């Protein structure tokens, strides 16, 4: 539901002091004797102050309590830290304390705020099997949210507005995030849910993720204006590679960057819950500032290696151009990639998928090849690359041979090393960052082996040479030749630039195959 800022309806004013009027006076002022009292909200907690206010508001008003939990299916984000089942338990705990008939429903958000009131009443009708039909003649809204009140007022509903004095759920969650004394402000039932479901640790993690590097952030030292332009320029190809493999309605983009892919995911999957996750504050600020047409995107800060979402809840997890960073910025440790895949397996529901689009190592990457550059400037850049490649490793750089054939300098190295240079030679502005990264973590065959070992079923595992890169970055700039016993051999095709790997969680087992931490 889109947020608006409006003045409260004048018809609600006489009822601000809950509990002062008797039952007859209240129903007379409302103009309706309700069969139902509708309580709409996110229900991430109930504070003691809120509980007292709601009790006063409900004390003299007849009617069955109808709770509707909004943003159903959303959880594990800053905006919605609790999952729907946990919020239902909180509402149920409050309802039981009141000792009167109640029912609890959950409604997913919709992009059209003008249709929101009808959406809420339709959800109640559907979930109650047609037994509970809410309309302005039999229902009174109990809400202190001006946006909710405005929408229901337009549909002719009357409302009682509980006091907002004292501590509210937002205060409760802020206290949890800071490890403050949240228990003293929470209702007994809320405390029980928080403690039983380890909500405190989840909220603390959501609001204060530890970062990956000693530098402070993964983004340290990178020119994000240049980086973002380069990443977003390739978005059309990424969409084609990624989106046809997406399943389900809970999609997580781990390493979301500027949020450009999230925009397209929101448009293509308007009914899905979409979460973007990244380590860089700079990129997250940019993604948070994007316009998502269907208002179904949340952005969180976090380490994409670690488990963040509830087990068995996510339908699709996307790792786009980030697995090589997981590997490169964790000491070139492939076990960290395995750990990310293992935790993704836990987060996925059965039938859920992991989609990886990233650089790929050539299948015959260990064979020797010769490289020719177009000019002396690019030759010198190659020498610099050979010295500095994987600069954060114990032994940075790699050995190569330099020889002249027919008056032209050529360099001999492995195909994998040549591929790494070709893929990075044009990143001049961000050279200091890019030269540390190794794009080819595994070959496609090795990716398939790793996924299979963790219990996944392979859906798709292929690589290709990006035609735009071949035409604009490779051809006319650098050439590869076979090594013929130390001599210059035949011209070789350029190695593949991009791998697209899709794997599916096909069965729930007690424990997936473990990966070393």
Domain boundaries, the chain: 10-177, 224-360+500-505, 368-439+466-495
Q: Are 10-177 and 224-360+500-505 in the same CATH fold?
A: yes
Token output for 128: 């109650």
Label the pairing between strands 498-505 and 348-358: antiparallel
Q: What is the structure's pLDDT at 281? A: 66
- For domain 224-360+500-505, is the CATH number 3.40.50.150? yes
- Between the alpha carbon of residue 109 and those of residues 38, 74, 271, 310, 430, the distances in Å are 17, 9, 8, 20, 41
What is the chain's pLDDT, residue by residue, as a tens digit (517 residues)?
434 343 333 334 334 333 334 445 555 666 778 999 999 999 999 999 999 999 998 888 889 999 999 988 777 776 788 998 999 999 999 999 998 999 999 998 776 667 889 999 999 999 999 999 999 999 999 998 887 888 899 999 999 988 888 888 888 988 998 899 999 999 999 999 999 999 998 888 776 543 333 333 343 444 434 434 444 445 677 888 999 999 999 999 999 888 888 988 988 999 999 999 887 766 666 777 777 877 888 888 888 999 989 999 999 999 999 999 999 989 999 999 999 999 999 999 999 999 999 999 999 999 999 999 999 999 999 999 999 999 889 999 999 999 999 999 999 999 999 999 999 999 887 788 889 999 999 999 999 999 999 999 999 999 999 998 999 999 999 999 999 999 999 999 999 999 999 999 997 544 444 443 3
**Predicted structure pTM score:** 0.58
Q: What is the structure's pLDDT at 26? A: 56
Token output for 216: 């402070």
> What topology does CATH give the domain 10-177?
Rossmann fold (3.40.50)
Angle at 273 between CA 272 and CA 279, to 5 degrees: 135
Q: What is the structure's pLDDT at 324? A: 95
**DSSP E strands, 308-367:** 314-320, 348-358
Angle at 43 between CA 39 and CA 46, to 5 degrees: 95
Only one residue has tokens 């087990």, namely 311
Q: What is the structure's pLDDT at 208? A: 57
186 DSSP assignment = B
Dist CA 413 CA 378 (whole Å): 16
Q: What is the DSSP string of 388-430?
A: HTTTTSSS-S---EEEEETTEEEEEEEHHHHHHHHHHTT--TT
- Between the alpha carbon of residue 50 and those of residues 15, 119, 177, 280, 426, the distances in Å are 17, 26, 20, 37, 59
Element (H, E) at 300: strand 297-301
Only one residue has tokens 């507005």, namely 161
Check if the beta carbon of residue 217 is closer than 8 Å to that of residue 279: yes
Dist CA 396 CA 216 (whole Å): 23
Q: What is the structure's pLDDT at 20? A: 37
Token output for 189: 């039932």
Q: What is the structure's pLDDT at 516? A: 39
Q: What is the structure's pLDDT at 52? A: 93
258 burial via Cβ count (<10 Å: 0-12, 13-18, 19+): buried
């Amino acid at each position: 539901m889109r947020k608006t800022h409006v003045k409260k309806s004048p018809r609600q004013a006489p009822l601000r002091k809950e509990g002062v009027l008797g039952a007859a006076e209240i129903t007379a002022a409302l103009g309706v004797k309700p069969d139902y009292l509708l309580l709409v909200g996110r229900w991430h907690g109930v504070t003691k102050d809120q509980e007292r206010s709601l009790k006063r508001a409900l004390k003299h008003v007849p009617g069955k309590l109808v709770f509707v939990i909004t943003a159903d299916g959303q959880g594990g984000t800053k905006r919605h830290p609790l999952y729907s089942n946990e919020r239902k338990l909180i509402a149920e705990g409050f309802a039981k304390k009141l000792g009167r008939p109640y029912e609890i429903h959950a409604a997913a958000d919709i992009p059209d705020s003008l249709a929101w009131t009808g959406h809420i009443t339709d959800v109640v009708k559907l979930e109650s099997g047609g037994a509970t039909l809410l309309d302005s003649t039999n229902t009174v809204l109990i809400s202190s949210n001006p946006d909710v009140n405005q929408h229901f007022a337009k549909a002719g509903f009357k409302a009682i507005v509980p006091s907002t004095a004292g501590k509210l759920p937002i205060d409760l969650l802020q206290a949890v995030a800071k490890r403050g004394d949240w228990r003293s402000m929470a209702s007994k039932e809320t405390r029980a849910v928080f403690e039983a479901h380890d909500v405190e640790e989840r909220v603390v993690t959501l609001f204060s993720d530890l970062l990956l590097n000693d530098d402070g952030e993964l983004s340290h030292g990178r020119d994000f204006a240049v980086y973002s332009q380069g990443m977003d320029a390739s978005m059309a190809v990424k969409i084609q590679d990624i989106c046809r493999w997406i399943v389900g309605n809970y999609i997580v983009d781990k390493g979301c960057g500027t949020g450009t892919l999230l925009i397209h995911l929101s448009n293509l999957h308007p009914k899905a819950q979409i979460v973007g996750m990244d380590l860089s504050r700079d990129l997250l600020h940019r993604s948070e500032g994007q316009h998502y047409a269907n208002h179904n995107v949340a952005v969180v800060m976090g380490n994409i290696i670690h488990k963040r979402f509830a087990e068995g809840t996510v339908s699709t997890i996307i790792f786009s151009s980030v697995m090589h960073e997981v590997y490169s910025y964790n000491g070139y440790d492939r076990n960290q990639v395995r750990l990310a895949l293992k935790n993704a397996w836990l987060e996925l529901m059965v039938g859920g998928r992991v989609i990886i689009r990233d650089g790929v190592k050539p299948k015959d990457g260990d064979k020797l090849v010769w490289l020719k550059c177009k000019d002396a400037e690019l030759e010198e850049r190659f020498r610099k690359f050979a010295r500095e490649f994987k600069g954060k490793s114990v032994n940075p750089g790699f050995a190569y041979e330099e020889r002249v054939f027919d008056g032209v300098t050529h360099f001999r190295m492995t195909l994998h090393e040549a591929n790494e240079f070709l893929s990075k030679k044009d990143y001049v502005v961000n050279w200091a960052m890019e030269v540390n990264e190794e794009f080819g973590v595994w070959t496609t065959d090795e990716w398939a082996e790793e996924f299979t070992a963790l219990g996944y079923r392979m859906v798709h595992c292929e690589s290709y040479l990006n035609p735009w890169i071949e035409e604009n970055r490779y051809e006319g700039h650098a050439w590869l030749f076979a090594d013929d016993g130390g001599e210059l051999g035949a011209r070789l095709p350029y190695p593949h630039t991009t791998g697209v790997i899709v794997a599916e969680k096909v069965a729930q087992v007690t424990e997936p195959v473990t990966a070393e931490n």
